[in-house]
Every structure is written in structure tokens, then in C-alpha cells.
Amino acid sequence: MQISSRFTLAIHIFACIDHFGNEYKITSDFLAGSTNVNPVIIRKILGQLKGVGLVKVARGTGGASVAKPLGEITFLDIYRAVECVERGELFHFHENPSSDCPVGRNIHHILDEKLLRVQSAMERELASLTLEDLKKDTRKYLQGE
């Protein structure tokens, strides 16, 4: 199991919007050049981010911008916007474990609470990071170039 690249692509998109937004029109083609990902995928992610009010996207070649202050957007907000997590559950359980097997019959009792703790820990950490943190790190690393 792996979280898809949509999450890191969305973070990359925000970094580009913030870094280049005053100099360039931030279009899906522009973002595709930075991410090396097809513009169609970029447009889909932008649509997901727009759908939850994290970005504004002007029609046509109008470009994208951040919809609210960077300090108010957490990595958890972005994760929830772009990751297709079924019923809010990070871990998908295999279907129909055997009720004839003592392990299969009890696997939910064995794992459910533990997996929920893992997901909660990840979500707490994502909630502690904002796009303002990303902006600071981006500036730090770009100054070193």
C-alpha cells in the first residue's frame, strides 16, 4: 500500500504557485513543465483542490492561485482533497477473511484499533504542517542554488 503521487504533486503545485505566481501565469502547462506530469493530471488535481476551496482557477489560460493564506492550509487539508481514501480509511481491509480460520475470523479485532492509531498519528502530523512551512523550506533550499 502506498499513498499515490497526487498528494506530493499537489504540494509541488502549491510550491510553484507561491514561488512563481507573481512572475508567471500558473497554468496546467506551466505546472506540467515543473512536475514533468501530463497537464491533464495537473488539471484533475487542480480541480480537486478547487473543489474544496484551496485554490482558485481562472477559466481558459487564466491560471491558478492559492485561495486562502498559506498558514491556514495544512498538509492534511491537501491530503484529504486529493487522495481517494475510501470512507476516510487509509487502510483497506481485504475482503471476506475466512470465518473458518481462527486468524481470519479475528483479524479485524486484532488489527482495526492498531490501524486506526497509525492513521490518526499520520493525520495529526499532516495537520501540524502548513503551506507556510513549505514556503519557508522552499526559500531556504532555493537560496542555496
Q: For position 27, which CATH number holds?
A: 1.10.10.10
Let me know if residue 62 belongs to a domain: yes
And the C-alpha cell for 44? 484533475
Number of domains in the chain: 1
User: What domain range includes position 90?
Assistant: 6-140
Residue of 62, 33, 138 lying closest to 42 (CA atoms): 33
64, β-bridge pairs: 57
Is pTM beyond 0.75 here?
yes
| Per-residue pLDDT tens digits of the chain, which is 145 residues long | 456 789 999 999 999 999 999 999 999 999 999 999 999 999 999 999 999 999 999 887 779 999 999 999 999 999 999 987 666 677 777 778 888 999 999 998 899 899 889 999 999 999 999 999 999 999 888 887 6
